[in-house]
Amino acid sequence: MLLIGLALVAPGLAGAPAADQPPLPRAPAVQGDSTAHRVTAEQMVRWEKELSNWGRWGPADQRGTLNLITPQKALAALRLVREGISVSLHRFPDYEKAIDAGNMNAETKRWMTHVDPQTGRVRSALDAVSFATHDGTNTHMDALCHYAVQSLLPERAVIYNGYPQNLDERGCKDLAIDKMGSAYVTRGILIDLPLLTGVEWLEARTPVYASDLEAWEKFAGVRIGSGDAVFLRTGRWARRAKTGPWNAARETPGLHASVLPWLRQRDIAVLGAEGVADMQPSGVEGWARPIHDILIPIMGTPLVDNGYFEDLAREAARLERWEFMISWTVMRIPGGTASPFTAVATF
């Protein structure tokens, strides 16, 4: 596993460190976790209790930390709009087969109607598009029924807030995407780690620790807080554009499991990443995706996978501002385990 040491290297940007502040060191590649960051399976089970939001918004709650996006939070986010510039965070899934798409490529059927028999002119054109919501290249928000409580499997399948995992051919009975509200506005924060470290992208298997997130806060002049939607850029799409696809579901930079208490303390509403948020491999025996395993069924925090943050990163760097208003609608797929995440960030 690689140990990341984030160096504060963008002196021309707002929030850059003072000259007398030494940069964080870059650590060499090492195998295994340091003792300070090691997380065991036993610790993960303890965190299932210690970090839980079950019952916080009542026994019938199906929105989890989306409850933190209050009208007051939305109004505060509106005040972040100064330039009137908007960018999308969505990436449509690939049509061509690729190792990171998970063999769930998009397909389109097109046809023409009302063709004039004399001129051959088409009055209207139609199409039908199909794709997997959890495609490895499609930006989507996970529903809270997507992951069950890890430590109870396989004996019991329990999801967020103690709901049984009732699944059938119609999807999730509880905590489906259509039960999680329809539209949201809140403060968004971009964490741009390649910018912070002065690289094009973080290498695969690079862990991101809480200290790295706090280094970014200091650089950007922000503090992540309750009800925020936080987006972690590691440079996946920049790397893919230069070197081609790789199996990002198996080898990717991302959050280390030791970040979990920090995320609970900051009380965020949504966590987004360019892949699955988890560093892969996770480094925690028996827990392939510990960030997913705790945030979704324990904390009730929706995750956004495969977010596209390249345009957002360029605009934020140009404006030297990494907080913005973020807005999105939820495609209310009955029983759905996810929804396309077509969010818009507005500065």
Q: What is the CA radius of gyration of the chain?
A: 21
Contacts of range 67-71, beta carbons closer than 8 Å, 24 or more positions apart = 68/226, 68/227, 68/267, 68/268, 68/269, 69/184, 69/185, 69/186, 69/227, 69/269, 70/227
Cα–Cα distance for residue pair 198/320, rounded to 1 Å: 16
Structure tokens at 50: 């210690």
Mean per-residue pLDDT, 53-66: 99
Segments making up each domain of the chain, as ranges: 35-95+132-346
Angstrom distances, CA of residue 100 to CA of 94, 95, 158, 237, 304? 10, 12, 29, 11, 16
Mean per-residue pLDDT, 297-310: 98
Confidence of residue 51 (pLDDT cuts 50, 70, 90): very high
Half-sphere exposure of 81 (CA within 13 A, CB side): 17
205-250 tens-digit pLDDT? 999 999 999 999 999 999 999 999 999 999 999 999 999 999 998 9
Per-position DSSP letters for 208-269, written without gaps between them: E-HHHHHHHHHHHT----TT-EEEEE--HHHHHHHH----TTTSB-EE-GGGHHHHHHHT-S
Confidence of residue 156 (pLDDT cuts 50, 70, 90): confident
Task: Give percent above pLDDT 70 in the chain.
Answer: 90
8-44 tens-digit pLDDT? 333 334 444 333 333 333 333 333 456 789 999 999 9
Tell me the average pLDDT of the chain: 90
pTM of the model: 0.89
For domain 35-95+132-346, give the fold.
Answer: Glucose Oxidase; domain 1 (3.50.30)
Q: Scan for tokens 């329990």, then name that residue.
A: 158
Neighbour count for residue 248 (Cβ, 10 Å): 26
Using the predicted structure, report yes or no on whether residue 3 has a pLDDT greater than 80.
Answer: no
Q: Hey, is 177 helix, strand or coil?
A: helix
Confidence of residue 121 (pLDDT cuts 50, 70, 90): confident
- The least confident of 127-131, 143-147, 243-247, 269-273 is 127-131
62-108 tens-digit pLDDT? 999 999 999 999 999 999 999 999 999 999 988 888 899 876 778 88
